[in-house]
Amino acid sequence: MAMQWHRLLTTRRYGHAELPAEEAGRSHFHKDQDRIIFSSAFRRLGRKTQVHPMSLNDHIHTRLTHSIEVGSLGRSLGIRVGEAIQEQLPDWASAYDIGMIVQSACLAHDIGNPPFGHAGEYAIRDWFKRHQDSVQLSRLTSAERLDLMTFEGNAQGFRVVTRIENHLFDGGLRLTYPTLGALLKYPWSSADAGGRGKFSAYLTEVEILDHLGTELGLVAKGKHRWCRHPLAYLMEAADDICYAIVDLEDAVELSILHFEEIRPILMQLCGVDSFDDEILTSQASARRKISALRGRAMEHMVNSSVSAYLANQEAIMCGEYQGELLLDGDPDVASGIRQAKQLARDQVFPDTRKTELEVGAYTILGILLEAFCHAVYENHTREGQELSYRSERIISLMGIHAPTPDLPLYPSYMRALDFISGMTDNYATYLARQIGGLN
């Protein structure tokens, strides 16, 4: 049975008992964007790694600049698709509502990422894998240990917007159901994460996941597993478009790659063999040359993604589509995307300085996890006794996020992860030095 737009675009807001009155000049979906942008978690993305940790070059993307750019593309994708399917939408919904929902989801899509980018994710996973047989984790169920050993920025982001930000454990940012639905790139639990370790809801949030799936009318695929909201595919496409170009652009900025190495890929993403622009044949900087090609490439990729969405709309609305819009559209775009990813894997990710900093990130997060998880375990098992001075001080650093002694161990560890994953690169580095006595 196909999903229905009148349910997929409900204006119900998670965490509100009743629908609040409309404010002049703002739709409910506009409010979502405002709540995300003004949240402290979004602001901290400005000092979190996108691809290259701790870069001193001001032109290199952070998680914040990346999220803003993804949001801009997501809005265009949403409006374009919304215009094409306008007759299918409820009378009150416009193409600009679709654009706003996708943009809001794009702005929040990295809001749960830990410091140091993907290296931070791997470091947290590895720490818990190395300690899975320790006393600290012995009281957890296998499902609870799996959540920790498969730490995922997408699942942490869902937790941030539904639990942590603004209304702590009372609805979080209280976003609308459609925005939350579009944010769920992997709408299942860690039990279905597979070899890639991708999922969007910890055990602490599976009830919220199931509630959203039911209210939005998503297609159930199993226990705590749902098909994607149709607009999640547009969020994914916007993210992939930015990744395809931004990873290479930053690598040129850092002199890891040269412009001539990425020029053929950009041309292919533009859908042309040549591009008549004076800048490309002048003595202009690589930055200006890339800028001249970027807009054309992004426009072509947006067109390709919209066409792919419309071509696969029936499968998408039935919850059966398993592809990626960028790979199922224009063949030049699909080929360019694959070439861009391969070049990044071969020459950008193995960069020596990047590797050195990522190894340092492992050490930093290891120090923090060791200290905070020990303090949380001691706090949970003290049975009326006083905490050691060190653990008491570490717990106090968590402020309102600190677990009480009577809180079960698994959610207590999640509180520690909330605190650590919310840190910026700079603060994580500073705090690890203080805790580890490295100053």
pLDDT in tens, 247-300: 888 888 878 888 888 888 888 888 876 666 666 666 677 778 787 788 888 999
Q: How many CB atoms lie within 10 A of CB 40?
A: 10
Please state which of the four CATH numbers 3.40.50.12280, 1.10.10.10, 1.10.3410.10, 3.60.15.10 is assigned to the domain occupying 232-348: 1.10.3410.10
Integer angstrom CA distances of residue 35 from 89, 155, 401: 25, 19, 20
How many whole angstroms separate alpha carbon 228 and alpha carbon 344?
28
What are 163-206's pLDDT values in tens digits? Answer: 999 888 889 999 999 999 999 999 999 999 988 889 999 999 99
The tokens for 40 are: 């402290």
Q: What's the average model confidence in pLDDT over 136-149? A: 94
Which residue stretches of 312-424 are H helix?
Answer: 313-317, 331-343, 352-381, 389-397, 409-421
**In this predicted structure, what is the pLDDT of residue 283?**
67
Report pLDDT for 343.
86
CATH architecture label of 115-150+351-439: Orthogonal Bundle (1.10)
Sequence spans of domains, the chain: 5-16+27-114+151-226, 115-150+351-439, 232-348
CA dist., res. 275 & res. 15, Å (int): 51
What's the chain's average pLDDT? 89
- Class at the top of the CATH hierarchy for domain 5-16+27-114+151-226: mainly alpha
- pTM reported for the whole predicted model: 0.92
